[in-house]
Structure 1
Amino acid sequence: MPVKVMRGICFHPKTPSFASPSRTTAPSTPTSRHGGGSVSSLSGSAIEKIIQEAAVMVEKWNPEATTYARVTSLFYENKREAAHFVKCVNGLQRAMHALLLEDPTSAKLVTAQGLMQVAMKRLQKEFYQILSMNRAHLDPESVSARSSRVSARSSISDYSDDGLPEDDASVAGASIFEVEEASSVAMADLRSIAECMITSGYAKECVSIYQIIRKSIIDEGLYRLGVEKLSHLRIGKMDWEVLEVKIKSWLDAVKVSMRTLFTGERILCDHVFASSDTIRESCFSAISRDGAMLLFGFPEFVARSKRSSPEKIFRLLDMYNAISAHWVEIESIFVFESTATVRSQAITALVRLGESVRAMLADFEASMQKRSSKSLVSGGGVHPLTVQSMNSLSLLADYSNIVVDIFGDEPAPAESPLPESYFDSPHREDGPTTVISQRIAWLILVLLCKLDSKAKRYKDISLSYLFLANNLQHVVSKVRESNLHSLLGEDWITRHEKKVRQFAANYARLAWEPVLSTLPEDPSAPLYPAEAGEHFRSFNSSFEEAYRKQRSAVVPDPNLRDDIKASIERKLGRAYKAFYDIHRLTVGGERNGVAFARFAPQDIGNYISDLFFGSGDSSNASSSSSSLSSHRRRSHTSH
């Protein structure tokens, strides 16, 4: 990964765990750290030597004594001397403790206190400089990667696998190692200074510097990720398009914040203040709490805002999923009692989002039931309500695991309004999946009932059945091709496909049975010429009328369209062909038979094959009649 990416605000820590060795290291005591026995055993000469040695080092790096000390960084200039400086200050602290026990009024104690004050100013300056100058090296990714050099080697391998030349991979690996090495050095220096200042009684000054700088990094990081302070009222007044952009930005921000920004800050804080659990907790809380509360407060405001847009429910589910997916990280990062408000805010956001989703599903059902039944679709096609509802439900099925969480604590009603047939599926088992499956099945049933009421408004009953067949076919298709399939089961699909065939059969019977009834029950039975002619005349008139009516009919699904055509052709076409072949010559011979048998059998098949594309409407009767006449003339001329 290029260095500039690692230094960006969108960090990506390699190690989300906080169980680093630094976190579990116990603070060292003055005796264990510097040797020389206990504080009380220090002799006067030893104390004198410690103070003299400290005086030389402290005065050398007194920022107010020389220009060199003022403009030069001790920890940057000479690491060995920096370590010696800290050792001298720790020794000075031991000497002061010994003097307090032996002679609190000693002049040496006053001298030591003065040296300690100067030393603390130096260390404050160094602490501030390291934090300020290493902002890029102390980004969360570098921090989390510092504990393992394996990550650098694997990164080099990754670059080689991606097709970079080995020279480029080596350069990239060297850059990664350089950043991680700088991060490791800076963290070690910060920890050394922090432990020295805390031991010396200057924890407040150290923590203050740390909090100011690191809090600004979190605040700036969240700002660059698009997280801003928004009131409930302002969110409520936003156009949905604007709010949706902010929601998408928030979703990205949560991912980066939880996996890198807050994680990295927690790791860094744990390392620097490893010597004190209390300071580590209070420091991280002060740095992160405001930003985290801002981050997790946004979903609650969105959930509380009133939106009529059907897309809102899916954005709410996205936010719910984002918090749920990072819940383990939220609990581990904000585990302290002082950050309990962050966990509480995240839980509140989940509760509010869940309540809003449940309310919106109820509104979704109510909107279907309240939808006006007066609007009809030309040709009995698929209604927009069907398309919109099934699009929403199929998307909802993609969130089934989240919806199960939201509805998981709500038991199925003892007396469900669903027909018993809805529970014949193999999916009928106790558990949250059953709850969401039943809810979706119920919503589809509400839709179908609404479509049934719309179908009754068609004046042509056959068109009503075609409308039901088309819309139920669309429902079944959406179920089969989406995750609704796994929720409702194959049995649900099979039963509703059967209903589609029943609706289609009813359409074919009502629309074309009058035409079929003009032919004798036994087409091959002998007839007088007058009787045969009357049958031809009745058939011609009835077929033309049926064709004019059905020319506007539409069947969008190609498989259903072919099935309906095949059904009509199978019954009507075969019966007419049998009658035509036997009786066409009995009504006037080869020449005059055309006047009676105006349609050849192949004409019937051609007319039927042209149906269900919505190519005309019933009001255009003259055009349809002209088309029929023209077609007949061409057909008989070919004979």
Structure 2
Amino acid sequence: MDTTPLPEKIGGFTGRKSDKKRDNANSNEPDSPTVDSKPDDHPTGKYQETEIAEESSSPNLHTSLPHVSEEIDGFIHTLCDVNIDKSNPPEVPDSVENFSELVESMIARLDSGESKAKFEQNVEEHSDFVKAVNRMSKLTNALGEFPLTPALNRTGTVLQRAMSFLEEEFRTILEDSRSSNSDQKALSTKQSSFKSDDHESNRCVLPEAESNGTEDFPSFSPEVVSNMNRIATAMIFAGYETECFQVYSISRRSSFQEALKKLGFQNISIDDVQRMQWESLEGEIATWIKVVKNCATVLFSGERQFSESVFSEFPSISRGQFSNLARAVVIHLLNFAEAVAMTKRSAEKLFKFLDMYETLRDLIPAIDGMNLDEGADELKSDISFTAGRLGESAICIFCDLENSIKSDTGKTPVPSGAVHPLTRYTMNYLKYACEYKDTLEQVFHQHTRIERPNVSDESDTADRGRSDQNGSDETADPSPFSVQLMAVMELLDANLDAKSKLYRDPSLRCIFLMNNGRYILQKIKGSTEIHQLMGDTWCRKRSWDLRQYHKSYQRETWSKMLGSLSHEGLQVNGKVVKPVLKERFKSFNATFDEIHRTQSTWVVSDEQLQSELRISISAVVIPAYRSFLGRFGQYLDHGRQTEKYIKYQPEDIEASIEEFFEGNPTSMGRKRT
């Protein structure tokens, strides 16, 4: 690429430095715009300069553009001779005036077209025009090395007119020439005939993407990109880079905003976010996540390639233009995330906050791959800061779960000893939260490092309780998130224990603790993430607790009834005392009737636990009753006495037990005959 400084605007235009030396008039570097093109550079395969017809009374207009251009090139070569006396410029040939008139004539003819984008009308003529403008830039630049002359003012005026025309054309193409029809793009690709010198015409090929309305972004056909490349190169070479950049920047920012709007993302102020109902804000967050991911995978990629194509001869300019746009878009997106992080915290917001955190976290590697300029580190820092704000909010929301459990102090027991709503809410909340296990561990760890800056990085790998091959927990320090999870579980256990005391019936108290304990254990075993955090030791302890509740239930419920089936006191001197026997049968029948009446209304929702309880009851009651009935039933007189005192057969007892814990009161059936 030509390393010669870009020429300043000449004459009365802003930015001119008359004493600055220029030596690029005869540069032959391949990246610099050249005066003469090789024959195979022309779209038709053979370069032919356009003859300029007579359009005024000046006889010089009869001269062909190739002839005048040749004379201008020779004059430029003379002006750039290192041995020339800068204080005594050579005589300006008539070809300078002729060339100026020819360029003016070309501007007037091109500017008279009815179409907004004139460059789409006559490809060959516009190719000649751009080359003529580049030659005029070199001429004006060379004349600028000498004291002010009429020739300099003349060429500077013509160059300014040419730049104004190109600037307007550049703006028009950017705003009006975006292709919206894939068939048109395919056709234009085949018919493209206005290729940029020394560059591929198809410079805006985008990566494949999901169908979301932006996969073709920025949707310019190859020949249009080539036109913009020619115009941008000519403007920058002439020293009009500021005007070029301004037009490009304004148009591209507007186009990018249109693309974001097409994805559904609206400009929402911080105040609007604060006032928005959560249901509405949740939808906006989902859209924001989609937009950020789309920017990272499609929009930014397309925009970067587009910028590289338009400013292909100036890589640093291309990178700067794209970087400025990317920073503006990302900051705009971060403003929304900041506003969301400032909203009032509530439990249902946790998961969306974590989604937003993950989206920003994953955006940072995408920024690394965008080849931004020196502002990339600052931009990544801004992204990390906003992600940190969301992470801190998520931690606070999760920790508020403790307060929710502590504040649940209702004095009304759950009917039938069922699973308490607090248990269901807490465990389902933890289940969904632990689907973000890695993210929560990350944000909790970052928060802990902020609170305890002396924590060493070496402990990172030892922050999790793990299990060895035998299933025993290692003694590694638990992660901050698992510590928080343990704290929540301890609070829930304490709360449930307090609620169990609201039941007057000790047996129902045990059923309540079994129901809730079994529900908690099944939820933890059903979630790999929670199980990993709680560990096998905790689960074994929970299973042991459930067995103790079961034993307590058996003792509280059936000990009195089994006492009725005791053999003690039924015989005196080897003879059965019938009154005592009759009382034992009456006591058994009454106790079992009461247990059945009561416990058939109790609820055990876990089918396995329900089955385990029924089996254990049958294993205790049926054998004892069958033995008692078989031994002493014969001592009752057959007939009315037997029917009065032997109310149930063992099969009746077994059938009745199967009605326990259904949650529906049932009437006792009569004995089987």
- TM-score bin, normalised by smaller chain: 0.7 to 0.9
The corresponding residue for 2:80 is 40
Quick one: which amino acid aligns to residue 603 of structure 1?
D
Question: Could you say which residue in structure 1 is the equivalent of 2:119?
Answer: 75
State the AA in 2 paired with 1:585.
Q
Of stretches 121-130 and 486-495 in structure 1, the one that deviates more from structure 2 is 486-495
Match of residue 164 from structure 2: 121
Alpha-carbon distance in 2 for matches of 1:138, 1:213: 20
**Stretch deviating more after TM superposition (477-486 or 562-571):** 477-486
User: In 1, Cα distance between the equivalents of 2:653 and 2:303?
Assistant: 79
SS in 1 for 2:406: helix
Shift of 1:371: 1.2
Q: Report if the CA contact (8 A) 1:54-1:88 is conserved.
A: no
Give the whole-Å Cα distance in 1 for the aligned partners of 2:327 and 2:306. 16
Q: Find the counterpart in structure 1 of residue 9 from structure 2.
A: none
- Post-superposition Cα deviations, 1:445-481, rounded to whole Å, max 9, x if no partner, equal 2211211111112111111111111001111111122
Are positions 1:353 and 2:353 aligned together? no
What letter corresponds to residue 193 of structure 1 in structure 2?
A: I
The one-letter code of the counterpart of 1:59 is S
1:53 Cα offset (Å):
5.0
Q: Which one-letter code corresponds to 1:237 in the other structure? A: R
| DSSP 3-state at the match of 1:326 | helix
C-alpha deviations, 1:282-302, integer Å up to 9, x for none? 534554444322211112221
- Secondary structure of the corresponding residue to residue 62 of structure 1: helix
Displacement of 1:344: 4.0
Separation (CA, whole Å) in 2 of partners of 1:189 and 1:429: 68
> Are residues 474 and 243 of structure 1, via their aligned partners in 2, closer, same or farther at CA, if it must alter by over 3 Å?
same
Query: What is the aligned counterpart of 1:403 among 428, 440, 457?
Result: 440
Q: 5 Å matches for 1:18-37?
A: 28-29=31-32
In structure 2, the CA distance between the partners of 1:546 and 1:190, relative to structure 1 (3 Å rule), is same
Q: Which runs of 4+ in 1 moved over 6 A?
A: 31-39, 42-48, 148-152, 411-414, 422-425, 522-526
- Supply the distance in 1 between the matched residues of 2:494 and 2:596 (Cα, whole angstroms): 30
Q: Structure 2 vs 1, CA of residues 49 and 573 (structure 1 numbering), >3 Å: closer, same or farther?
A: farther
Pick closer, same or farther for the CA change 1:553–1:47 going to 2, 3 Å.
farther
Among 137, 140, 151, the residue aligned to 1:93: 137
Secondary structure of the corresponding residue to residue 516 of structure 1? helix
Quote how far apart the aligned CAs of 1:85 are. Answer: 1.7
Q: CA deviation at 1:54?
A: 6.3
Residue number in structure 2 paired with 1:417:
none
User: Which residue, 544, 547, 552 being the options, matches 2:601?
Assistant: 552
Q: Which residue of 2 aligns with 1:167?
A: none
Partners of 1:599 and 1:86 lie apart in 2 by 110
Which amino acid is the alignment partner of residue 488 of structure 1? M
Shift in Å, 1:518 = 1.2
Alignment correspondent of 1:507: 553
In structure 2, give the amino acid aligned to 1:459.
Answer: R
Q: Which residue of 2 aligns with 1:363?
A: 400
CA contact (8 A) 2:218 2:306 kept: no
Q: Is the 8 A contact 1:554 1:613 kept in 2?
A: yes
Give the residue type in structure 1 aligned to 2:156.
Q
> How far apart are residue 243 of structure 1 and its match?
1.6
Secondary structure at 1:589 match in 2: coil
Residue 184 to residue 30, structure 1, CA distance change in 2 (3 Å): closer
Tell me what 1:250 maps to: 288
Are residues 181 and 223 of structure 1, via their aligned partners in 2, closer, same or farther at CA, if it must alter by over 3 Å? Answer: closer
TM-superposed deviation, 1:281: 5.2
2:154 corresponding residue in structure 1? 111
CA distance in 2 between counterparts of 1:429 and 1:98 reads 80
Asked if structure 2 preserves the Cα contact closer than 8 Å seen for 1:584 and 1:597, the reply is yes
* Other-structure match for 2:539: 493
Shift of 1:66: 6.3
- 1:314 partnered with 2:314: no
Change (3 A) 1:51 1:29: farther
523 and 381 in structure 1: CA distance in 2 versus 1, 3 angstrom threshold: farther
The Cα of 1:185 is off from its aligned counterpart by 2.2
With over 3 angstroms needed to count, the CA separation of the structure-2 counterparts of 1:226 and 1:180, relative to structure 1, is closer
Measured at CA, do residues 451 and 150 of structure 1 come closer, stay the same or move farther in structure 2, by a change above 3 Å?
Answer: closer
CA distance in structure 2 between the partners assigned to 1:124 and 1:150 by the alignment: 27
Matched residues in 2 for 1:559 and 1:47: separation?
106
1:545 shift after superposition: 2.3
How high is the TM-score relative to the length of structure 1?
Answer: 0.78
Change (3 A) 1:222 1:151: closer
Cα separation, 1, equivalents of 2:377 and 2:158? 41
Q: CA–CA distance in 1 between the matches of 2:342 and 2:550?
A: 46
CA deviation after TM superposition for structure 1 residue 51, in Å: 6.8
Higher Cα Rg, which structure: 2
Letter in 2 for 1:610: E
* 1:218–1:288 CA contact under 8 A, matched in 2: no
**1:324 and 2:361 matched:** yes
AA at the equivalent of 1:484: I
Per the alignment, residue 299 of structure 2 pairs with 261
Distance 1:522 1:266 in 2: 95
Q: 1:239 aligns with which of 257, 260, 277?
A: 277
What residue number does 1:454 align with? 499
Partner of 1:391: 428
Over 3 Å counting, the alpha-carbon distance change for 1:243 and 1:209 in structure 2 is same
- Measure the CA separation in 2 of the matches of 1:252 and 1:150: 19
**CA deviation map 1:188-217 (0-9, x unaligned):** 221221111011011122112112211111
RMSD: 3.8
**Rounded Cα–Cα distance in structure 2 between residues aligned with 1:368 and 1:300:** 29
Question: Out of 578, 582, 585, which is 1:529 matched to?
Answer: 578
**Equivalent residues of 2:140, 2:155 under 8 A apart:** yes
Which segment is superposed worse, 513-522 or 525-534?
Answer: 525-534
- Output one character per residue of 1:89-144: Cα deviation in whole Å (capped at 9) or x when no partner: 1112122222233x4333332332222122212212321222123323699x999x
Alignment coverage as a number of residue pairs: 564
Whether contact under 8 Å (2:337, 2:356) holds in the other structure is yes
Bigger RCO of structures 1 and 2 (CA < 8 A, at least 6 apart): 1
In terms of mean alpha carbon deviation, does 282-291 or 348-357 score higher? 282-291
CA distance in 1, matches of 2:316, 2:207: 32
Aligned equivalents of 2:618 and 2:225: distance in 1? Answer: 84
What are the residue-to-residue correspondences of 1:332-347 with 2, within 5 Å? 332-333=369-370, 335-338=372-375, 342-347=379-384
Q: C-alpha displacement at 1:595, in angstroms?
A: 1.3
On the 8 A contact 2:582/2:645 being kept in 1, the answer is yes
SS of the counterpart of 2:564?
coil
Alpha-carbon distance in 2 for matches of 1:435, 1:47: 83
Q: Are the structure 2 counterparts of residues 426 and 53 from structure 1 closer, same or farther at C-alpha, using a change threshold of 3 Å? A: farther
1:549-600 superposed Cα distances (whole Å, 9 cap, x missing partner):
3232110000000000000010011111111122212122355312111111
1:608 aligned to 2:644? no
- Rounded Cα–Cα distance in structure 2 between residues aligned with 1:426 and 1:55: 93
Which residue in 1 is equivalent to 2:623?
A: 574
- TM-score, normalised to structure 2, is 0.75
* Kept after mapping to 1: 8 A contact 2:232/2:310: yes
Change in Cα spacing, 1:523 to 1:219, as seen in structure 2 (3 Å) is: farther
Alpha-carbon distance change, 343 to 62 in structure 1, aligned in 2, over 3 angstroms: farther
- Contact 2:33–2:233 (CA<8 Å) still a contact in 1? no
Residue number in structure 1 paired with 2:511: 466
Secondary structure of the structure 2 residue equivalent to 1:450: helix
Residue identity matched to 2:340: V
Q: Tell me the alpha carbon deviations over residues 376-415 of structure 1, each in whole angstroms, 9 at most, x when there is no partner.
A: 111111000000000100001100111011012327999x
Asked if 1:224 corresponds to 2:240, the answer is no
Residues in 2 aligned to 1:150 and 1:305: alpha-carbon distance in whole angstroms: 38
Paired with 1:573 and 1:46, the residues of 2 have a C-alpha distance of 126
Structure 1 position 481 matched with structure 2 position 526: yes
Report how far residue 331 of structure 1 moved. Answer: 4.2
Identity of aligned residues (%): 27
Contact 2:341 2:389 in 1 (8 A): yes
**SS of residue paired to 2:268:** coil
Q: Relative to structure 1, is the Cα distance of residues 130 and 30 closer, same or farther in structure 2, using a 3 angstrom cutoff?
A: closer
Kindly provide the CA deviation profile for residues 486-523 of structure 1, in whole angstroms up to 9, marking residues without a partner as x.
33344433432232232123212211221112111689
Tell me the equivalent position of 1:13.
none
CA contact (8 A) 1:569 1:605 kept: yes
Task: Output the CA distance in 2 between the equivalents of 1:66 and 1:559.
Answer: 86
Where do 5+ consecutive residues of structure 1 fail to align?
1-25, 160-175, 415-421, 617-623
